[in-house]
Amino acid sequence: MSVLQRNPVYVVGIGMHRYQFPTDTPYVQLGLTAVREALADARLGWPQVPLAVVGTAAIGMAAGRVMLRHLGSTGFEVMQVENASASGSSAFRTACLQVAAGEHDVALALGVDKFGDGRRAASKDGLQPLSPTAHVPLVKFALLARRLMQDHGLTEADLARVAVKNHGNAALNPYAQFRKPRTLEQVLGSPRIAGALTSMMCTPRGEGAAAAIVANEAGLERLGLDRARAVRVLASVSSSERLAEDIPQGVPPIVELVRQSAQAALQQAGLRADALDLIELHDAFSIEELVYGEAIGACAPGDAAGALARGEWAIGGRCAVNASGGLIGMGHPLGPTGIGQVAEIVRQLRGEATGRQQPGARTGLAHMIGLGTMAVAHVLHKE
């Protein structure tokens, strides 16, 4: 039994700073906007938060303390997490586990980022890359898309429908970077970036912030928090890629990683994939939603494009995939992205996602990929 089953943890407050294209806005302003909104949502004061876990990929050392001291120096514990695109997801997981373990009864998970210089450890490992594009995700997924188009009949229109859906969802989300619905013709006609992937099939980079406050049963009782709006974290898992010989033949390692990590999260939660009403997943490139959605179990094997075309992954469909707009529509500032996924699911499960509400939503999965490659998954549930 996981520690989250022995000592339940709940999300009691969420907050965001809208994702946006790079500006001169200091990261401190971005982050504090999200924190203040989360505190107000939970009806908590800053002195009541004893732990803050900050996820950021591009800002630099000690970002959390430099930022949060503006709310007051209360002697709280603060730590900083970097895990590429999964920095926020890892910060949320760390906060949940600290609270589940009883180290604290309340904790803040905060993701914040500004557009950085993009330096990666993979370029400093002392090994000569096989090609100049060996560490460029865009190239990797353009090649994956080409392979699936050649071997399995996937079409450019299938790739484009992901972007059409997610831009449409983002247009309904006040926190999203892109707020315009797009047609199939617009997506297909936008500039090609690599292979079949056009600019509208790819995530933008930018800046923003997302915050979530979590509490255990003791924290709910001590602080008199509103149980009616609390959303339980049923599972939290993190893992990385396996050796190629441990993966079924013909399956890309990153797809197998998504399958195994999602399966582990669902098993920890005691659920099957068909119990999910919502999935927020890593769709930096449209091909990812198709292969990851299938790997998670949102459709039958080989039917991702069909499920998407039939509207099963739309808001109001069987399982809303990336109701927020996903990375393609909502944006991908790196540090905040994973916590932004959690915030969207919490908003949906509370029935507060005005204009884009998934009817009857009770259970959601937030799944994030980070360079390296690793995965973090969370299952959330509202009675």
Is the pLDDT confidence value at 80 over 80?
yes
Q: Is the pLDDT assigned to residue 121 strictly greater than 70?
A: no
pTM of the prediction? 0.95
Q: How far is CA 293 from the centre of its chain?
A: 14
Q: How many CB atoms lie within 10 A of CB 36?
A: 15
pLDDT of residue 250: 81
Rounded Cα distance between 57 and 81, Å, is: 8
Model confidence at 182: pLDDT above 90: yes
Whether pLDDT at 123 is above 60: no
Q: What mean pLDDT comes out for the span 335-346?
A: 98
Rounded-to-integer distance, Cα 343 and Cα 337, Å: 10
pLDDT digits (tens, 9 = 90+) for 191-200: 999 999 999 9
Query: Average pLDDT of the chain?
Result: 94
Q: What percent of the chain has pLDDT over 70?
A: 95
Q: Where does the pLDDT of residue 205 fall: very low under 50, low under 70, confident under 90, or very high at 90 and above? A: confident
Nearest partner of 140 among 253, 216, 36, judged by Cα: 253
pLDDT at 246: 76
Q: What is the mean pLDDT of residues 263-287?
A: 98
pLDDT at 301 over 80: yes
Q: Give the whole-angstrom CA distance, residue 335 versus residue 333.
A: 6
Distance CA 217, CA 224 (A): 10
Q: What is the C-alpha separation between 69 and 54, in angstroms, rounded?
A: 13
Distance CA 12, CA 91 (A): 16
- The answer to whether 375 and 261 are in contact (CB under 8 A) is yes
**Average pLDDT for residues 301-326, to the nearest whole number?**
98
* Banded pLDDT at 208 (limits 50, 70, 90): very high
Instruction: Band the pLDDT of 112: cuts 50, 70, 90.
Output: very high
How far is Cα 48 from Cα 52, in angstroms, rounded to an integer? Answer: 11
Can you give the pLDDT at residue 68? Answer: 97
- Contact assessment for residue 51 and residue 95, using Cβ atoms and an 8 Å cutoff: yes
Bond from prior residue into 33 cis (ω within 30 degrees of 0): no
Separation of alpha carbons 120 and 371, rounded Å: 9
Mean pLDDT, to the nearest integer, of 3-10?
95
User: What span, in angstroms and rounded, lies between the C-alpha atoms of 371 and 334?
Assistant: 11
Q: What is the pLDDT of residues 211-240, one digit of tens each?
A: 999 999 999 999 999 999 999 999 999 999
All structural domains of the chain, each given as residue ranges with its CATH number in brackets, are 3-116+205-232 (3.40.47.10), 133-180+233-381 (3.40.47.10)
Portion of the chain with pLDDT greater than 90, in percent: 88
What pLDDT is attached to residue 243?
80
Instruction: Give, in degrees to the nearest 5, the angle at Cα 87 between 85 and 92.
Output: 130
